[in-house]
Structure 1
């Protein structure tokens, strides 16, 4: 039973205000589910249009807005799914948006943006912690940008003023996502052709086209892939892998995706801490929070390229959704690090 059922006469704003009083430590993403709402709808209840409103609705010109984000200077970028939170400090550099695709290609903040999933934007002031937050059509967050102590506050004020929506409505219209298509039965898949095409890959980015061509889901591809190129791992592989990478001071890449953004950390990891159900990286400029109990499948995946095999550790939940991708640091056109290859194959 949700809190909507318990207090049907109260408005969403009233139920949200009471919930925060009763549960001050519960994060808004979790609160939205308990309230039978979405994160975007909860935020919008504070969108009063007054000069001191803690939430300001932004226009949907996200391409132009993103191109102004570099003026903010050092910030913290946050992208998450239900099970993993990826937080990276740095500056937005080399921002570009072309149609449905966007890129941020800084040394620290490295993003792939899927703009068709960006539907709502807000400037948020949470007791002095200021941010820009973006949401999909169902009200789920796709990406957030937080100011830090070194950010340019005046540039933030100017950006919010420039992209402030004319209508500051405390209600937003959200739409549920269409149901995912059912997985194609294995018997209807050309497994031999799929395996042959996988072995013939020359670029890791072509793998996603391969899935579409043969009509296989991500985890189905791993189950049906060439046996010499894919191996099921224990679900402690991510912990052992991060611990080994930290001990070796090895530069790695960690990819975490929401529906509208893939965020990438490239570099070493150092401080690893387990707290309750979460396994964390707690470094000065990079934090990762992984809910280990949500990891249902872990795989070692090898993809052929013109520079040799590329090895990755891939995590999935019980619904087959990708939680995290773990690579060694690598640039296109450069062979994979031998130290990473050795680490990955030992897992």
Structure 2
């Protein structure tokens, strides 16, 4: 089970005062950009770097490059991730434009596959699937906040979109953290290069898709990961495939069904797996939703000890109930998409090893998908 390793970067705001970097040009640290960023933060207290970058028509990586308290990191991503095992607990954050997941804990089992440009971190708290071929720049950032100095490692793809962030916390081993920075700092780094995101290829029309063949291949899946090869084989987009395979395998639901699901999971004490992805990382929460579910502005939030999820509900255009056949039986999930068809978040019932899906989980999703029959 995994989320696609791609998501559309945010588009620049139409009201942005000035574009500070042009396509395919090196993004140099800029005093002017830094000053405009500070002015923007003063006018909009609490403004996040991602949103500031959008308003200034630059990438988030370019903002960090102009920050006087940022330091470039070398590009040996596999070694850096492996070295994080020594620093103890950190807060790991992965996001797209509508979903943010934050987990606090140590980096435990790390596996890097350089021949494939991939890696993974597997632990009780931090669970990541890394698409390192998309990682193009990294920074140490020291920020002065109302509560003190906050330090983080932030990584970006070739378009300057954040793929993953790691924050130092109180329990982080100070000496190990500083030693990691000393090993991976890159004081003579070349100028940051950013590129505009390529336009998405035109979608194949539904009428040109072998819908019967697609359904047969879907029914023949033996593992949830088989869906990626299936999409390539039939040259079909993910949400398009859901439309074509038949309503018994994929059913479109109202966008707010995701909020209903999270509330029911919390009430019933059902353990789940939540997947949030960026262009270069998928981060997973496995376990219960324990404490608080609260709406703040446009964001619906899970606020648990050592686990937060923030979901911008207005960005969800569709929720889909999806059934995938596997060797362990049918695996059922709820997926949410934005208006452009980007996958934002997935939720599965928690399964371990070769376990089958929980009947209670399946019954809950049926109740959400078919409320008239409940």
TM-score under structure 2 normalisation?
0.88
Match of 2:154 among 115, 118, 133: 133
Cα deviation 1:21-49 (Å, max 9, x = unaligned): 332311000000111111111111125xx
- 1:261 is matched with which residue? 281
Cα deviation 1:271-324 (Å, max 9, x = unaligned): 111112111000011100000000001100000011110000000000100000
- 1:173 is matched with which residue? 193
Give the distance between the partners of 1:274 and 1:264, measured in 2 at CA.
Answer: 22
- 1:285 is matched with which residue? 306
TM-score under structure 1 normalisation?
0.94
1:124 matched to 2:124? The reply is: no
- 1:5–1:42 CA distance, 2 compared to 1 (3 A): closer
Give the distance between the partners of 2:339 and 2:122, measured in 1 at CA.
Answer: 32
**Matched-pair contact (CA < 8 Å) for 1:297–1:316:** yes
**Matched-pair contact (CA < 8 Å) for 1:121–1:135:** yes
2:305 counterpart SS class: coil
- 2:98 is matched with which residue? 83
Return the offset for 1:5.
6.8
Structure with greater contact order relative to length (CA < 8 Å, sep ≥ 6) = 2
Q: Which runs of 5+ in 2 are unaligned?
A: 1-14, 21-29, 369-374
Give the distance between the partners of 1:234 and 1:2, measured in 2 at CA.
Answer: 33
**Matched-pair contact (CA < 8 Å) for 2:31–2:66:** no
1:191 matched to 2:211? The reply is: yes
**Matched-pair contact (CA < 8 Å) for 2:156–2:163:** yes
Give the distance between the partners of 1:339 and 1:74, measured in 2 at CA.
Answer: 33
1:11 counterpart SS class: helix
Match of 2:63 among 42, 58, 65: 42
Give the distance between the partners of 1:255 and 1:29, measured in 2 at CA.
Answer: 21
* Number of equivalenced pairs: 338
**Matched-pair contact (CA < 8 Å) for 1:13–1:42:** yes
- 1:50 is matched with which residue? none
1:157 counterpart SS class: helix
Return the offset for 1:168.
5.5
Q: Which runs of 5+ in 1 are unaligned?
A: 48-53
Return the offset for 1:20.
2.6
Return the offset for 1:228.
1.4
Give the distance between the partners of 1:304 and 1:34, measured in 2 at CA.
Answer: 44
- 2:270 is matched with which residue? 250
Give the distance between the partners of 2:57 and 2:253, measured in 1 at CA.
Answer: 36
Give the distance between the partners of 1:80 and 1:87, measured in 2 at CA.
Answer: 9
1:204 counterpart SS class: coil
Query: Which segment is superposed worse, 18-27 or 331-340?
Result: 18-27
Q: CA RMSD in A?
A: 1.5
- 2:41 is matched with which residue? 20
Cα deviation 1:88-123 (Å, max 9, x = unaligned): 111111111102111001111111010111000011
Give the distance between the partners of 1:133 and 1:2, measured in 2 at CA.
Answer: 24
- 1:92 is matched with which residue? 107
1:2 matched to 2:22? The reply is: no
Give the distance between the partners of 1:147 and 1:280, measured in 2 at CA.
Answer: 22
Return the offset for 1:156.
1.0
Query: Which segment is superposed worse, 32-41 or 257-266?
Result: 32-41
**Matched-pair contact (CA < 8 Å) for 2:104–2:307:** yes
Give the distance between the partners of 1:173 and 1:22, measured in 2 at CA.
Answer: 29
Cα deviation 1:206-239 (Å, max 9, x = unaligned): 1111111101001101100133111111111111
1:151 counterpart SS class: coil
Cα deviation 1:59-83 (Å, max 9, x = unaligned): 1111110000111101111000000
The 5-angstrom pairing of residues 61-72 of structure 1 reads 61-72=76-87
- 2:351 is matched with which residue? 330
- 1:63–1:15 CA distance, 2 compared to 1 (3 A): same
